[in-house]
Amino acid sequence: MSEIIEKHPFEPFLPENAKLLMLGTFPPAEKRWCMRFYYPNFINDMWRIFGICFYGDKQHFVLEQEKRYNLDSIIPFLNEKGIAMYDTATKIRRTKDNASDKDLEIVEETDLDGMLRKLPECKAVITAGQLATDVFCNHYGIKSPKVGEFAEFHLDDRELRLYRMPSSSRAYPMRTERKAYYYSIVFKYLEL
């Protein structure tokens, strides 16, 4: 097990108009990145899922020849739609040299309440992956919803929904198009 404690490499991406907060667990090691932003691993399908859901095109955000995603179109898209991104852990230790949640030890959890208070228009949270879902549910004292379903939770005087989505990792055994179907349920609910 590594003794190195990693601090989150990205600032929270929190557009003021965000209706949705997407939370993973923690980014993969930098050697697996193709860009300096969320879901940076080229074999992770999150940006392909977004392409399917919003443009009917799995390759919309993909620069295939360069083996990277088009960050110059992703950032304006997220700002326009009001989609915030961060993770449930701000500090971790890797127990193995991979990006799997099962091999992460969370050293410091994210201040979820503080983050949501910065997003007054936020009505829903997506967790992508079991560890992120567990951290979130434990914090808010709610039962983990099944994949594709939601649970309601409260923060101050707000009622919000937590949607448990399939992981965008290729290790998760589901076709990208099927994953996109689940994500589209949330996007339709929020009228994005």
SS3 of the chain: the string is CCCCCEECCCCCECCCCCCEEEEECCCCCHHHCCCCCCCCCCCCCHHHHHHHHHHCCCCCCEEHHHCEECHHHHHHHHHHHCEEEEECEEEEEECCCCCCHHHEEEEEECCHHHHHHCCCCCCEEEEECHHHHHHHHHHHCCCCCCCCCEEEEEECCEEEEEEEECCCCCCCCCCHHHHHHHHHHHHHHCCC
Residue 186 pLDDT > 90: yes
pTM: 0.95
Residue 144 pLDDT > 70: yes
Residue 83 pLDDT > 70: yes
Residue 167 pLDDT > 70: yes
pLDDT at residue 10, as a whole number: 97
Domains within the chain, CATH numbers bracketed: 6-189 (3.40.470.10)
How would residue 11 be classed by pLDDT, with cut points 50, 70 and 90? very high
Mean pLDDT in residue range 44-50:
97
pLDDT at residue 129, as a whole number: 86
Mean pLDDT in residue range 80-90:
97
Residue 102 pLDDT > 90: no
